[in-house]
Chains A and B, each alone.
Chain A
Amino acid sequence: MSGDHNFDKSKFGYVFNIQHYSVHDGPGIRTLVFLKGCPLKCQWCSNPESQKNNPELAYNFNKCIGLDQCNRCLKACPNGAIKKSAGNEITIDRQECDSCFKCADACPSHALNVFGNLMSVKEVVDKVEKDSVFYSRSGGGMTLSGGEALVQAEFTTGLLKEAKRRRINTTIETCGYANWESIEKAGQYLDNILYDIKCLDPSKHKEFTGVTNELIIENLKKLRERFPKTAITVRTPVVPGFNDTEEDILAIIKFIKDIQNVKYELLPYHRLGEPKYTYLDREYPFSGFTSVDDERMTLLKKIVQDKFQQ
């Protein structure tokens, strides 16, 4: 199923998680839909399972009960890609794996798990709408997240359109790195936009995220102009060693001051995503860095408070 790209991209897409009761990503109590794929490769990324477009096999050895108890995955794999490791655990030979995911189906403890399910617009919005009773009290709704939802632009627009038809409040969390047409299309169905501006220095931006920031900056300006009534919150994930200086934050404040009617928030970087790199047999590019300390965060938040009129 993973290799199957012959589906209607406006009706189907790859989702790797649907999370209920999210309270920090848009107004009210929200349901977060995480879509696969991302044009950036941020070194600190906390959702490495989002980066690739297609479903991926993950192995959480903490959940594995060990080969002395169970070898169902070994037996299930038609390619011999699952091998006994030095200890009691397994390793996945990712070269040999053709992503049939039969092993995950056989795994009793969900130690082997697939990130990314092909879902229809209807399936996703049905799940989101289940929490409708919470949205009516809290003003919440659906938030699309990722990865970058706009990588699956047609699917994203489909989801947003369907949500609006069902009177569900919509939000997107975006890195802004997408072609303008797809942003514009999605924008028609959005109530709120959470827009990441990570750093204004293009070369530093490229070094840490893999892309430069011109398109991102341009798109934000265009968005504001094209959708003057949509609530936009600019957000900066504060990452030590990348953008945690006063200068970095002041530069961003200076830039967004010229954009009408946006809010601004700082988010502290966290390392919660780190174990997931191991599950995917990848290196955590940012290892060695620590979380932002509270003191620094307070200082930067104070700068925002003083220098930026919300």
Chain B
Amino acid sequence: MIEFTNVSKVYENGTKALSNLSLSVDKGEFVFVVGPSGAGKSTFIKLLLREETPTKGIVKVNGYNLNKIKKRQIPQFRRSLGVVFQDFRLIPQMTVYDNVAFALRVTNVASRSIRQRVPYVLGLVGLAAKARNYPDQLSGGEQQRVALARALVNNPPLLIADEPTGNIDPELSLEIVELLNEINKCGTTVVMVTHEHELVARFGHRVISIDHGSLVSDADEWGSFYEG
């Protein structure tokens, strides 16, 4: 599903973000990516989304070779991903419903399937009752669930979460990760970047740790990471 082969990224200003990173994530996995700030996590995400291209090495995601993908194929590729961010990135002028429907409207989905699909995912994240609310009327946890609904609405095989709990109270953070866990159980591959070790320890998934742009460890569980 995701394959990084000897990937290095040096930005134009000379910052070395990743050096010789190799890793792979299989279909159906739930993977935490951890590391201190400046470790290269954001660059990792940007490479996954094809917002950046690697300076060296090969990035393959969802069967697309992102080194060779043509510009006009990028939209198609991105439709095979769901992404949530720390800052939710909801549109404040739109209701919850419209925020979720937006992802479908702008990708040429017929109105009929939008009307079916949006209430379904809102139900999935437990926000069916708040469909008519605006983002600023919701708590941080609820806003993130809206973002999650938007990420899931076109049923992507891969979900990428970039510090999804960064702006949320600890109790609600747990809810979000539990939700991601449920989504993963339904077959969606989940990659979650975080630096909240407690959460990572609690869920017992594979943990990829990067620092200074390189792979520090790749363990089946947080515990074995400590022991190893």
Bound pair (A, B):
no
